[in-house]
Amino acid sequence: MRTALPYVIRIALSVAVAASVMLLGLSGAAVASEQLPIVISTQKPLGPALGTFSTAGAFVDSGTLVTEKRNVSALPSPFGVVTHLVLRFDGQLGSFTMRAQIIETVTDNPDVFADTGVWVILNGTGAYADLQGTGDMEGTVDDATNLITRIYTGLVHFR
C-alpha cells in the first residue's frame, strides 16, 4: 500500500519543476530587447569586390561589406532578375550576416536597374552575437558608374 508522503513529495517536485521551467522561460523573455529601427547604407563596385557599409539607428557602426554568396534566378525575364544574396558586414564592433532577396527591374535608363527586396539577419559575432532583425531594401545597380548602392531599413533587437 502507498503512503501519502511519497505522493505529496511527487506533487511538490512536479510543482517545483513547473515553476522552474516557467521562471527560466520568463527570464529569457525579460532579457530580449525592444525592436529598434535600423538603416544600413551600402556601396560596392559591380562584380566580386568588397564594399563599404554604415549603420544608423539601433546601433552605429561602419566597415567592410562582403558578398559571401550570390545566386541569380528568373532568367530570362522581361522585367529583370531576382538576386539571392548572403552578405557579411564586418564592422568595428563585430560582424553580422544577412540573407537578402532582391528584385532588380529595368528602368528607363538602360544602364540602371532599380532594386527592391527583403532581408533577414542570420547570425553575428562580437557585439552582434545576439542580433536579430528583418526589413526591406531599396537601391540601384548602375553599370555606367560601376556602382551598387543599397539602403536596408528595418527593425532589429538583441535576444
Q: pLDDT tens for residues 99-158? A: 999 999 999 999 999 999 999 999 999 999 999 999 999 999 999 999 999 999 999 999
Cell numbers standing for residue 154: 528595418
Whether residues 40 and 77 share a domain: the answer is yes
Q: How confident is the model at residue 76 (pLDDT cuts 50, 70, 90)?
A: confident
Whether residues 8 and 37 share a domain: the answer is no
Are 137 and 114 contacting, i.e. CB atoms less than 8 angstroms apart? no
d(C-alpha 51, C-alpha 45), whole Å: 7
Give phi and psi for 28, each to the nearest 5: -65, -40
Whether residues 8 and 56 share a domain: the answer is no
Whether the pLDDT of residue 4 is over 60: the answer is no
d(C-alpha 6, C-alpha 9), whole Å: 5
Domain span including residue 22: 1-31
Whether the pLDDT of residue 65 is over 50: the answer is yes
For the chain, count helices (H), then strands (E): 1, 8
d(C-alpha 155, C-alpha 120), whole Å: 10
Q: Per this entry, what is the length of the chain?
A: 159
* Residues in a beta bridge with 24: none
Whether residues 104 and 152 share a domain: the answer is yes
Total count of domains within the chain: 2
d(C-alpha 85, C-alpha 88), whole Å: 10
Whether residues 75 and 135 share a domain: the answer is yes
Whether the pLDDT of residue 82 is over 90: the answer is yes
Whether residues 38 and 82 share a domain: the answer is yes
